[in-house]
Chains A and B, each alone.
Chain A
Amino acid sequence: MNTALPPIHEIWVYLSGSPLLALTLTLAAWQLGTWLYERSGRNPLVNPVAIAVAAVAVAILAIDMPYATYFEGAQFVHFLLGTATVSLAVPIHRGLDQLRGRVLPLAAALLGGGAASIGVAIGMARLLGVDAPLQQGLWAKSVTAPIAMGVAERIGASPTLTAVYAVVTGVLGAALGRFVLDAVGCRAWWQRGAAIGIAAHGIGTSRAFTVHPVAGAWASLAMGLHGVIGAVLIPLAFGR
């Protein structure tokens, strides 16, 4: 090590004051996640989001960087989530051209899938004796995270808790989706994509895009519709 370098903590104070470190860390972690995902032959269990999140979490704990400081830098990436949501209009626009004859199954799947998501989650949580305040966050968890947090606020559940469940659900759905779809015997790409979009929102959609473009388009469509329907219906159904 070169002694002419300034003390390392000074470098870190400087770096953590700028978004450089947090951004570099985030992109490097994502690069690592996608590299491992590709190396595994796109194995659904090797989820790039989960890997990147774990890598960043370990790194910021190791250098003792508070999450708030990290987020301040990484918020540029976070901001683009909204822009990316708007951009999903493009694959949805393409999906709509193939909507003929699929409206009824899609509507049924959105309502049935949404109801199953809430019913099973709440039922299991009650059965296993999870505390009531922790249960409330389960209502909106299959809806895409930004909408889920808004819905949580309206029904008096914790937005943070709901976001935790939504992220975990997204990763689980992306990882387990293929096996469930094969077990049900669901073959068409549009159906596989839509089912993942309903259950596992953005993280599932991200996975669907890497598997097949048609699956990705339908996952975005289903995710968007589930978001809009959930924002309206979940507050109405809550507590019944």
Chain B
Amino acid sequence: MISGLLQLLVFQGIGELLARFVLPVVPGPVIGLVALLVWLRLRGRVGEGLEQVSGAFSRHLGLLFVPAAVGVVMFVPQLRESLPGLLAALVTSVVATIAVSAWLLKVLSPRDDSDDGGDDPGGLGATRAAPAASATPAAPPTAPPR
């Protein structure tokens, strides 16, 4: 656990340093992500500690957005007059983005890669043959380990 956290902090630090002195366009954590990814590719396996910490972060990623997002909400009343227009723009834009991305992924992928059953490498604990309709929230085909 601690070894994994330490590894992440070291790579975050490397990223911050590179962002500060070499690549100011890209934020430090993103450079850290790429650096860690390169390290994992070279090493070929993920250590147990890192596995645990990254699993915990994945499950609770949303929590980390809360402090910044609260500030954002405090800011919303200042947009009062433009709010309906902005909201309409944001809703249509996000729907269009998802639709265009999903459609391109679907039509450009080999047919057998667009079925659910074909997309289930072992080790991820996923069940097979779950059609899109079964993404029903009430019964997700596979719940991630809690």
Q: Which residues of A pack against B, CB within 8 Å? A: 22, 26-27, 29-30, 33, 40-44, 48-49, 52-54, 56-57, 60, 67, 70-71, 74-75, 77-78, 80-94, 96-98, 101-102, 104-106, 108-110, 112-114, 116-122, 124-125, 128-131, 134, 138, 141-142, 145-147, 150, 154, 160, 163-165, 167-170, 172-173, 176-178, 180-192, 194-196, 198-200, 202-203, 205-207, 209-214, 216, 220, 222, 224, 227-228, 231-232
When the two chains form their complex, are residues A121 and B63 in contact, meaning their CB atoms are under 8 A apart? Answer: no
21 residue pairs A–B, Cβ–Cβ below 8 Å: A53-B72, A53-B73, A60-B70, A77-B64, A82-B28, A89-B36, A98-B121, A105-B105, A113-B104, A130-B82, A141-B93, A147-B26, A164-B79, A172-B94, A176-B94, A182-B133, A185-B106, A188-B113, A199-B97, A212-B140, A224-B33
The CA of A35 and the CA of B45, in the complex, are separated in Å by: 34
Known: A108-B104, A142-B93, A224-B33. 15 other contacts (CB 8 A): A48-B62, A67-B74, A70-B70, A81-B64, A87-B8, A90-B50, A164-B72, A186-B103, A187-B132, A188-B115, A189-B126, A191-B114, A200-B94, A228-B26, A231-B26
Min CB gap A107→B, angstroms = 9
Closest Cβ neighbor of A160 among chain B residues: B75
Residues of B within 8 A of A195 (CB): 98, 101-102, 105
The CA of A29 and the CA of B54, in the complex, are separated in Å by: 22
Closest Cβ neighbor of B55 among chain A residues: A90
When the two chains form their complex, are residues B109 and A191 in contact, meaning their CB atoms are under 8 A apart? Answer: yes
When the two chains form their complex, are residues A173 and B74 in contact, meaning their CB atoms are under 8 A apart? Answer: no
The CA of A170 and the CA of B128, in the complex, are separated in Å by: 29
Mark out the residues of chain B between 63 and 86 whose CB falls within 8 Å of any chain A CB in the assembled complex. Answer: 63-76, 79, 82, 84-86
Min CB gap B76→A, angstroms = 7
The CA of A58 and the CA of B5, in the complex, are separated in Å by: 33
Please pick, from B8, B88, B90, the residue contacting A169 in the complex, using a CB distance under 8 A.
B90
Residues of B within 8 A of A84 (CB): 57, 61, 64
Residues of B within 8 A of A188 (CB): 106, 109, 113-116, 118-119
Q: A53-B69, A199-B94 are in contact. Are A189 and B119 (CB under 8 A)?
A: yes
Q: How many A-B residue pairs have CB under 8 A?
A: 374
The CA of A138 and the CA of B37, in the complex, are separated in Å by: 30
The answer, yes or no, to whether B142 is at the interface (CB within 8 Å) is yes
Residues of B within 8 A of A74 (CB): 66-67, 70
When the two chains form their complex, are residues B33 and A89 in contact, meaning their CB atoms are under 8 A apart? Answer: yes
Residues of A within 8 A of B107 (CB): 105
Q: A90-B50, A120-B92, A130-B89 are in contact. Are A180 and B12 (CB under 8 A)?
A: no
Residues of B within 8 A of A165 (CB): 86, 90
The answer, yes or no, to whether B1 is at the interface (CB within 8 Å) is no
Please pick, from B25, B60, B89, the residue contacting A231 in the complex, using a CB distance under 8 A.
B25
When the two chains form their complex, are residues B89 and A90 in contact, meaning their CB atoms are under 8 A apart? Answer: no
When the two chains form their complex, are residues A54 and B109 in contact, meaning their CB atoms are under 8 A apart? Answer: no
When the two chains form their complex, are residues B95 and A180 in contact, meaning their CB atoms are under 8 A apart? Answer: yes
The CA of A70 and the CA of B72, in the complex, are separated in Å by: 13
Please pick, from B15, B99, B131, the residue contacting A187 in the complex, using a CB distance under 8 A.
B131
